[in-house]
Structure 1
Amino acid sequence: MRINEHIVLITGGARGLGECLTRAFVREGARVVINYRQSEERAHQLVSELGEDHVIGLQADVTDAEQVTDMVAKASEHFGAPVTVAVNNALVDFSFNGDDRPALDTITWEHFNQQLNGAVGGALNVIRAVTPGMAEAGMGRIINIGTNLFQNPVVPYHDYTAAKAALLSLTRTAAKELGPQGITVNMISGGLLRTTDASSATPDAVFDLIAASTPLGRATAPEEFADSALFFASDWSRSVTGQNLVVDGGLVMD
């Protein structure tokens, strides 16, 4: 299936990296469901800009399974076809500010639980909601957004990094289970992106350090990262599943 034939669900698709993902898929002709939790105004602005024929904005908290199931049903009804690409991008209440992060002597299990519930629980809810339609279509693409921090913890964000590492595990076990239905499950792991809403609190010195450490000599832009998702949504990746692609300018080579 070509990208312009897909119905693409992007969680957290109204701002930051999510907005860049939305724009990348619309640019290639896909119809996109912009999921948002609180960014209603921004989602409506994108729908107005990109066109109602190509984009719909739907509110749902990804940690609420019932809301996610209802959102996927509305999306399929709106476009007259099931969601065939799901990008688990939503980030639950997190800011990349190394100077203000909880260290090991102050972090609590509630910090971990919040990130695990958002990253793993949210992805699980989405996967459960979209796989029946994908199975009916005979194919599907699930793309989880990860991080290179569990390979190279430049800044030790303990809770966020642990949740994304768990999401990689879910990516691989889901790939094993869903493969017979023609559904691939992969992860794209970025470094610190310059700049998104979540990374806006990051000091310039951290960006400069990362840029100096990469072969490309710069921090990755969210638009560059978003373009890599197109590969996993395309037929070019039809035999790729359970993989983790690191998109960070070569900072991590694995």
Structure 2
Amino acid sequence: MQISDQIVLVTGGARGLGLAISQTLIAEGARVVVNYLSSQTAAELLATEFPQQVFAYQADVTDKAQVEQLFAAADAHFGTAITSVVNNALIHFQFNGDARPKMEELTAQHLQQQFDGAVVAALNTTQAALPKMKAQGFGRIVNIGTNLVQNPVVPYHDYTAAKAALLAFTRTAAHELGEFGINVNMLSGGLLQSTDASKATPDAVFDLIAASTPLRTVTTPEEFAAAIMMFLSPYSRAVTGQNLIVDGGLVKG
């Protein structure tokens, strides 16, 4: 199925990386369900600007009932089911090395909050999507990860542990759902310049990252969003259970 024929849910799709993903999908001709929690103005602006392509809907993706309502509302709005899901939403997190909980301060609550935002949210959207994806014999699920799993240069314990769990969930889901024509993959980025989550990062850190990459640049949200299109397009129909790192070549593997 071409991207232009798909209805794609982007969780957290109205700000930061999510907004770049939504805008890229719109440019590709897809219909986009822009999920948001608190970014109502930005989400509704997209829906107003692209009324034929965008449906904005508020839902807490860690809440199973709200996610089921989101899928039902999108189905009713477009007259057909969501075909693809990009699990992008980031729950209460900023990339600020000075403010992160150190090992002595880390709590089970820190870990649980990030686990809920990454793994439980992906479970909720995957389960809500499954009946229609199975019925149509097609589905694309793309989970957003981090290269910190491979290279924890800043020890964000809670965030990185949750994304590592999401990578494992991506691979087990891909194994079980492949027979139904549902591909599940992950794209993992480094620090992006810039998003709401990275606005607290000093310029010196961005300069250091740029100097360390083969491309000598820091990846932008738009560049990262473009790579997601590969996993949604027919060109990757034989690709599932994979983790593609999109960070300018900083981290290998």
TM-score bracket relative to the smaller structure: over 0.9
The equivalent of 2:25 in structure 1 is 25
| Equivalent position SS for 2:98 | helix
Tell me how far 1:77 sits from its aligned partner. Answer: 1.2
Question: Which residue is equivalent to 2:6?
Answer: 6
Query: Which string of whole-angstrom CA distances, capped at 9 and with x for unpartnered residues, describes residues 66-97 of structure 1?
Result: 00011011101111111111000000000000
RMSD: 0.6
* Structure 2 residue aligned with 1:209: 208
Ranges of 4+ aligned residues in structure 1 off by more than 2 Å: none
Which residue identity does 2:195 align to in structure 1? Answer: T
Aligned to 2:36: 36
Match of 2:55 in 1: 56
Equivalent in the alignment of 1:67: 66
* 1:136 Cα deviation after fit: 1.4
Give me the whole-angstrom Cα distance separating, in 1, the residues matched to 2:183 and 2:226. Answer: 18
Q: In structure 1, what is the Cα distance between the partners aligned to 2:230 and 2:51?
A: 25
* Per-residue CA distance 1:127-151 (angstroms, 9 max, x = gap): 0001111111110000000000011
Say how many residue pairs are matched: 253
AA at the equivalent of 2:95 = F
Q: Normalising to structure 1: TM-score of the pair? A: 0.99
Question: What fraction of aligned residue pairs are identical, expressed as a percent?
Answer: 60
1:144-177: CA deviation from partner (whole Å, max 9, x where unpaired): 0000001111211000000000000000000011
Residue 227 of structure 2 corresponds to 228
Aligned partners of 1:82 and 1:137 also within 8 Å: no
Distance in 1, matches of 2:207 and 2:17, equals: 20
Q: 10-19 or 199-208, which moves further after superposition?
A: 199-208
Q: Which consecutive unaligned segments of at least 5 residues does structure 1 have?
A: none
Q: So what's the TM-score if we normalise by structure 2?
A: 0.99
Partner residue in 2 for 1:109: 108
| CA positional deviation for 1:16 | 0.2
The answer for unaligned runs of 5 or more in structure 2 is none
The letter for the 2-side match of 1:101 is: R
In 2, Cα distance between equivalents of 1:131 and 1:52: 27
1:95-139 CA distance string (max 9 Å, x none): 000111111011111100000011000000000001111111110
Structure 2 CA distance, aligned partners of 1:241 and 1:64?
27
